[in-house]
Amino acid sequence: MKAAIYARVSTTNGQDPEMQTRELKEYCERRGWKIAGEYVDQGISGAKEKRPQLDKLMADAHRRRFDAVVVWKFDRFARSVSHLLRALETFKALGIEFVSLSEQVDTSTPTGKMVFTVLGAVAELERSLIAERVRAGLRNARAKGKKLGRPRKAVDCARIAALRRVGRSWAAIGRQLGVGEGTVRRAAGRF
């Protein structure tokens, strides 16, 4: 099996990713897995949206360059539970196993698969609860008479007609009036 190892340290001030990578390499060696790639983000916060080496790892996962991803700890890999679960779902769809040494989660084992299933169920519950709160908030706003959605923008239908007569395209008219092409087309349909 080919494995990718991922390590991250938040600062370059005294933190060394070598402790993580050494343990990850030893784990892979014990399992008889070949290291297909090392991805190390150094001096990058876990809360950052863009992490160059993690982004590269995900791109290589889509290219099927390895069969497993091994990390030292969940929080070294993902910035949130939802980010972790999205990544795990991606790996599952690609047939890539995921191992976190500290949490002892290995999706190639029955116990690891069960833990992943439980995490997935928790994430689904969280998404459902968020969606219900959003719907309740919208109902409450409507009940209070609040207008929802983007505010309407007034357009001059006579000007649209004049611009069309001189051969302007829908898109050009929209740019000139500061509205989208669809808005121009809808307004033109009204006269």
List residues with catalytic annotation: 10
Phi, psi of 45 (to 5 degrees): -65, 145
> Which DSSP category does 152 fall into?
P
Residue the block writes with tokens 């910035």: 79
What CA–CA distance (Å, rounded) separates 29 from 25?
6
Pull the structure tokens for residue 151: 């505010």
Q: Are strands 97-100 and 105-106 parallel, antiparallel or unpaired?
A: antiparallel
CB distance 8 to 64 below 8 Å: no
Instruction: Give kind and range of the element (H or E) at residue 39.
Output: strand 34-42
